[in-house]
C-alpha cells in the first residue's frame, strides 16, 4: 500500500499486505486459537514520511497496548529464505533455536538486524519487543521495485503462499512461546 511510483505496487507492497492477511486467514482455516492478539496492519505512507507507522505506534502507546513482536513483509512476494530480527541477546538465542524448524524448507536464514520501516516507530516505546522482517529471495526484487512492471501478473502465487506460510509459522512460535525477557 506504499506504492507511489510507476507500477501498481503488487510486490511493493501489495504482496506483504496479502501475506499478512493470509496469515490470519490460514489460522482461521486451521481453527487455531491464539494465546495473544494477532493483527494484520496495513500501513500507509512509508515512502513519504512513515505517517502510518508513526500513528500506529502513537495509538498503541496511547491505548497502553503491549507488543511482543512485530513482523513486516516489505521485500516482495518472492520465495522466502528466512527472517531478520532485532532482538535482545536472550531473545536472539530463543529465536535462533527455532531456525532448525525452518531448515527443511530452506527458510532458515535467521539473521540479526531486521524489522522494517513501518514497524520501526514501535521500537522506542517497546524496548523488549522483537522486530522481524521476512527475507525473500532478493534476486528479482529490483526488477520490479518502483518499476512499471510491479503489477499483479508478476506475482507468483506459490511464492506468495510460501511467504504467508513462513510468516504464519514464525508468528505461531511467538504466540506459543512469547519472548525471553
Check residue 5 and give its pLDDT.
67
Check residue 145 and give its pLDDT.
76
Check residue 2 and give its pLDDT.
57
Torsion of CA 170, 171, 177, 179, to 10 degrees: 90
Gap between the Cα atoms of 139 and 38, Å rounded: 31
For all residues of the chain together, what is the average pLDDT?
A: 92
Pick the CATH number of 10-177 from 3.90.110.10, 3.40.630.10, 3.40.50.300, 3.40.220.10: 3.40.630.10
Question: In this predicted model, what pLDDT tens digit does every residue of 133-167 receive, in sequence order?
Answer: 999 998 888 788 778 888 888 889 999 999 999 99
Gap between the Cα atoms of 142 and 135, Å rounded: 14
- Divide the 181 residues of the chain into consecutive groups of 10 and give the mean pLDDT of each group: 69 89 98 97 86 96 96 94 97 97 97 94 96 94 81 91 98 94 76
pTM of the complete model = 0.94
Given the residues 46, 103, 153, 159, the one annotated as active site: 46
Residue 153 appears among annotated catalytic residues? no
Check residue 64 and give its pLDDT.
97
Phi then psi for 33, rounded to 5 degrees? -105, 105
Gap between the Cα atoms of 116 and 88, Å rounded: 17
Domain boundaries, the chain: 10-177
Amino acid at each position: 500500500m506504499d506504492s507511489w511510483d510507476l507500477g501498481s505496487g503488487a510486490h511493493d507492497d501489495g504482496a506483504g499486505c496479502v501475506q499478512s492477511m493470509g496469515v490470519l486467514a490460514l489460522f482461521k482455516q486451521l481453527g487455531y486459537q491464539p494465546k495473544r492478539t494477532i493483527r494484520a496492519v496495513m500501513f500507509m505512507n512509508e515512502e513519504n514520511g512513515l505517517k502510518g507507522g508513526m500513528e500506529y505506534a502513537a495509538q498503541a502507546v496511547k491505548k497502553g497496548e503491549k507488543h511482543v513482536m512485530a513482523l513486516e513483509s516489505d521485500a516482495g512476494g518472492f520465495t522466502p529464505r528466512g527472517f531478520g530480527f532485532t532482538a535482545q541477546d536472550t531473545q536472539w538465542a530463543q529465536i535462533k533455536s527455532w531456525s532448525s524448524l525452518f531448515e527443511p524448507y530452506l527458510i532458515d536464514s535467521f539473521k540479526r538486524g531486521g524489522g522494517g520501516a513501518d514497524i520501526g516507530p514501535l521500537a522506542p516505546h517497546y524496548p523488549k519487543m522483537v522486530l522481524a522482517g521476512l527475507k525473500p529471495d532478493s534476486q528479482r526484487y529490483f526488477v520490479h521495485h518502483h518499476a512499471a512492471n510491479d503489477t499483479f501478473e508478476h506475482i507468483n502465487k506459490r511464492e506468495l503462499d510460501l511467504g504467508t506460510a513462513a510468516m504464519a509459522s514464525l508468528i505461531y512460535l511467538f504466540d506459543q512461546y512469547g519472548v525471553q525477557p
